[in-house]
Amino acid sequence: MGKENITIDYGKVQQLSADISTSNGGGFDDIVSDYEKLAGNMTKSAGDMLEAIKDQITAEKEVVTAMSQACLQLVGSIDTAAQSFQNVDDVMVSRMN
Question: Which of the residues in the chain have pLDDT under 50?
Answer: none
Percent of the chain with pLDDT over 70: 88
* pTM for this entry: 0.67
Q: CA neighbours within 13 Å on the CB side: how many for 53?
A: 14
Give residue 28's identity as a one-letter amino acid code.
F
Q: What is the pLDDT of residue 24?
A: 59
Instruction: List, for residues 54-70, the tens digit of each pLDDT value.
Output: 889 889 889 988 888 88
The answer to whether 32 and 63 have CB atoms below 8 angstroms apart is no
